[in-house]
Amino acid sequence: MAPACVVGFGSVVESSGSTVMSESGSSDSFTFALASQPGSSVVVSVKSSDLSEASVSTSSLTFSPSNWDVPQSVTVTGVNDGLGDGDQSVNIVLSADGFEDVAVGVVNADNDGGPSIDVSSSSGDASDGCPTPVEAEVEEEEEEVEEVAPACVVGFGSVVESSGSTVMSEGGSSDSFTFALASQPGSSVVVSVVSSDLSEASVSLSSLTFTPSNWDVPQSVTVTGVNDGLGDGDQSVNIVLSADGFEDVLVGATNIDND
């Protein structure tokens, strides 16, 4: 069994001594508990440093003076970016007021034929196998990472487009993007998803629902090109994301003409 490692203000146990997922959607998990008994409840924020590579099962863990040493589980799921960018290292950042952040390094295994990371070293080189955060990449590696579409905060949410754009064709091909809320709501938020031109593009679902516990977990929208039978050239379409109390978010998509 993997050892319990005291890292910063807590104790981390990774399954098999590492946390490794894949772009095919597989998951892995680790547990976290406080390293010492607090005087009052402590809320630990849980965030992925790269939502285009990894999502987490919960946005926070709460420890009280009575359960501070009871490990709580965090499940990390790989996200498919559609790029042959190789295995990617991501930090799962655990933070709480008054403490220095704890970063647990995880690996999202590429499913597009890119270079692999030696998983045996994903927890660092320390002899105790304790997890270490992902270090900054060297310049040339950073240039390669720039090819991965970044998460862009637009209005009330965060959008990640595959390859940095959403492009379909009248031949019926599809593309997708993910959306998550930009901040934690007090109650569930239903986001309507509508194509601005149904003669050019259709969407895979009519709404996304986010709760206070999954608000930052990206949800996918697939956009499919529609054939209008006209030689009208490539057409630009907006996918409109709207929710009560917020200004609409527009995700631009392009439907490639086949006439």
Which residue among 120, 145, 170 closes a domain?
145
Rounded to two decimals, the pTM is 0.48
Q: What confidence score (pLDDT) does residue 122 get?
A: 42
pLDDT at 66 over 80: yes
Which residue among 126, 145, 164 closes a domain?
145
Q: What confidence score (pLDDT) does residue 118 get?
A: 60
Q: What confidence score (pLDDT) does residue 150 get?
A: 64
Token pair recorded at residue 88: 């990617």
Q: What confidence score (pLDDT) does residue 134 get?
A: 62
pLDDT digits (tens, 9 = 90+) for 111-122: 766 666 665 544
Token pair recorded at residue 115: 């270079």
Q: Which domain holds residue 124?
A: 5-145
Same domain? For 86 and 163 the reply is no
Exposure letters 94-111 (e unless 16+ CB within 10 A, then b): bbbeeeeebbbbbbbbbb
Same domain? For 128 and 21 the reply is yes
Cα–Cα distance, 150 to 143 (Å, whole number) = 13
Same domain? For 106 and 30 the reply is yes
pLDDT digits (tens, 9 = 90+) for 212-243: 999 999 999 999 999 888 888 899 999 999 99
- CATH code of the domain in which 220 resides: 2.60.40.10
Mean pLDDT, all residues of the chain: 85
Q: What confidence score (pLDDT) does residue 25 get?
A: 86
Same domain? For 250 and 180 the reply is yes
Of the candidates 29, 20, 32, which has an alpha carbon nearest to the alpha carbon of residue 102?
32
Which residue among 145, 175, 200 closes a domain?
145
Sheet holding 219-225, edge to edge: 152-154, 157-161, 174-181, 219-225, 201-203
For the chain, what is the domain count? 2
pLDDT at 146 over 50: no
Same domain? For 178 and 252 the reply is yes
Same domain? For 238 and 119 the reply is no
Q: Regarding beta strands 88-95 and 42-48, do their DSSP bridges make them parallel or antiparallel, or are they unpaired? A: antiparallel
pLDDT digits (tens, 9 = 90+) for 173-191: 999 999 999 889 899 999 9
Same domain? For 227 and 117 the reply is no
Same domain? For 162 and 137 the reply is no
Q: What confidence score (pLDDT) does residue 117 get?
A: 65
pLDDT at 169 over 50: yes
DSSP conformational letter for 123: T
